[in-house]
Amino acid sequence: MILKNVYVEIDNNKYDIDVFKFSDGAMNVQIMGFENVSIINNIISKIVFDRVFMNCNNTLILVGILSNILGIHSHTTIDIGYLPYARADRVFKKGMVGASAVSLQLLECLSNSVVIYDVHSIPTHITHKTLITKRLPLNTLSTICYPDKGAENRYPTLSKSIVMGKTRCLDTGAITGMKVVSGEEYIKDATITIVDDICDGGRTFIETAKVLKRLGSKHIILDVSFGIFSKGKDVIYESGIDEIVSKYTYSNQLDFNN
């Protein structure tokens, strides 16, 4: 199958990627048209994930194979957007390691430079080879809502902003409560944009929207960098969110058996 929104650029020319995946997960990968590329020293190449991200393991293996095809004569940039294992960034006790840092180390070993977007947190041992592209909310004219302290710290502080706080069950991690920490005066009759990096099932944003609606907000936009939407979008809309915007969308195109 030809991958959608994942391709290789060589000296500014775009090449599609064809993948055959075996039942055990092994991949055969081909850069289409690569046999016509003149291999000279210092060709400029880029592996691009264009507004899409995939299963972490599949991504790292795919990038590793493509980097090997391009070879040592290529100056290769991995423009990946989503850092695989970005959310596995904490070490809670001895015997653990942050997988996001390991993921970035692998990407840096496979390339001359790495470009990631709106990373969940700055990985340890990051080097000069990695560029982190930061973002602003798409709708800066609306009131901005940060669903937790992490989001507030991740993005620039705007004049009208709301910060939420959540409580979790210590055993299950489930959200048990959501409240406004600051900025409640900006909610009534307002258009509010909830800003964060990742939406998975959406529970944080669902609970945030319920509070905002109860306090009188007029229109709610969810603006995330990476949309997984593992529970679907309907459950998010049902909470009172009116619009959903995501720069990168999760793709399961490599989660198949041949």
Q: Which two tokens stand for residue 125?
A: 């041992």
This prediction has a pTM of 0.89
Mean pLDDT, range 138-145, rounded to an integer: 76
Domains of the chain: 2-133 (3.40.50.2020), 143-250 (3.40.50.2020)
Number of H helices, E strands in the chain: 5, 14
pLDDT at 257 > cutoff 60: no
Residues 27, 31: Cα–Cα separation, whole Å: 13
pLDDT in tens, 33-78: 988 777 666 788 999 999 999 999 999 999 999 999 998 778 999 9
Q: Which two tokens stand for residue 178?
A: 């959501």
Burial class (CB in 10 A: 0-12, 13-18, 19+), 128: exposed
Task: Give pLDDT, residue 172.
Answer: 73
Mean pLDDT, range 67-96, rounded to an integer: 88
